[in-house]
Amino acid sequence: MGVKEAIEDKIKSKKVMVIAKSTCGYSIMAKNVFADYIKSGNLDKKDYGFWDIDGEKNCQAIQDELENMTGARSVPRVFINGKFFGGGDDVKAAASKGKLKEYL
């Protein structure tokens, strides 16, 4: 399986998929927003995925493919219902405005 297919499979596997690095502050911010949504019942835990690409041997290739798919290789890259939503700032801003729930 190629890198693109692996990414697409991850995205399809969950309603919300965060492709991230565990040491990245923006990734942690997005993870915390979705953790709050799970706690409040706005998102079912089974519908949420966090793929930490730090440990992947092809981490750079994954980020290169994310750039092809989304226009940026930075993390996190957040996908909701199979579509690219944005990064950590986008998730935080949508949650702060009460708009994130509309996408879920």
Q: What is the pLDDT of residue 1?
A: 75
Residue 25: give its domain's CATH number: 3.40.30.10
Tell me the average pLDDT across 99-103. Answer: 92
Amino acid present at 88: G
Q: How far apart are CA 88 and CA 104, in angstroms?
A: 16
Q: What is the pLDDT of residue 76?
A: 98
Residue 97: burial class (beta carbons within 10 Å; 0-12, 13-18, 19+): exposed
Q: Give the pair of three-digit tokens for residue 92.
A: 């935080």
- The total domain count for the chain is 1
Task: Tell me the pLDDT tens digit for each residue of 54-77.
Answer: 989 999 999 999 999 999 999 999
pTM above 0.85, yes or no: yes
Is pLDDT of 47 > 80?
yes
Range of 48's domain? Answer: 3-103
